[in-house]
Amino acid sequence: MSNALLRITGLSFSYPNGKPVLRSAGIGVDAHEILVLTGPSGCGKSTLLRLIAGLEVPTAGTILLDGAVLSSPGRMVPTEDRPVGYVFQGHALFPHLTVQRNIAFGLRHLDKSERNKVVEEHLELLGLEELGDRYPHQLSGGQQQRVAIARSLARKPKLLLMDEPFSDLDSATRSTVRSEVKHLLKRLGMTAVIVSHDAQDAAHIADRIVEMSNGSVLQQGASPVLH
């Protein structure tokens, strides 16, 4: 684990006026690894993703990605400068923007022709070529999720975070989408941290499953067991 791409040590956090959510939590994620975080509701899984993304400021501890500090005492890299993609629960697509414009949203730093090229590439990568002009409400749940993934990957992150990515899909769609996502992440060699409370989802998509409880992360290290 010494060459982990993501390394978190001694991470602590409380929401204002709340009790501690994370207490000196630590975890390492290897390059190209898909790690699934499980654990009871309220144990701090989403909060850990928010801290990695830079949406919350830790009270203690260090987050390193590819050897670079994202958070450490006295240093906090802004969210938009972190090479981290975040697929939120419920996808959080912009309802008033088409699929193309949703994907282009994080690419305002590129000139127009480069931006269009990256959007095209990612429409193709996620099999969304025919849907670029649609609005989110004109898409199925599985298609919306593909747009959310395309939007995150278009910014070329080193790490992808996904919060309960399969929870609002019906059971028929769910197993298809889950294996599509796994194949895509493997094809791209992405490193990913996925929060899921569902044992079947975790077992199917994970290289490794770890459990959180009591504000810390319990390393299990074992390969997932399929039921």
Residue 47 engages ligand ADP in binding (rule: CB under 6 A): yes
CA dihedral 163, 168, 171, 177 (to 10 degrees): -50
Nearer to ligand ADP, 41 or 171 (CB): 41
Residue 36 engages ligand ADP in binding (rule: CB under 6 A): no
| Residue 148: CB minimum distance to ligand ADP, A | 18
| Residue 124: CB minimum distance to ligand ADP, A | 33
Q: Which residue in 7, 29, 44, 146 binds ligand ADP (CB under 6 A)?
A: 44
| Angstrom distance (rounded) from CA 71 to CA 61 | 8
Span from 15-23, 99-107, 147-155, 201-209 in contact with ligand ADP (CB under 6 A): 15-23
Residue 216 falls in which region: left (phi positive, over 0), alpha (psi -120 to 50) or beta: beta
Nearer to ligand ADP, 57 or 172 (CB): 57
Residue 41 engages ligand ADP in binding (rule: CB under 6 A): yes
- Phi, psi torsion values for 47, nearest 5 degrees: -60, -40
| Angstrom distance (rounded) from CA 62 to CA 211 | 20
| Angstrom distance (rounded) from CA 39 to CA 199 | 10
Residue 42 engages ligand ADP in binding (rule: CB under 6 A): yes
The H or E element containing residue 2 is none
| Angstrom distance (rounded) from CA 221 to CA 131 | 40
Span from 38-46, 76-84, 90-98, 198-206 in contact with ligand ADP (CB under 6 A): 38-46
Nearer to ligand ADP, 15 or 94 (CB): 15
Binding-site ranges for ligand ADP (CB under 6 A): 15, 18, 21, 39, 41-47
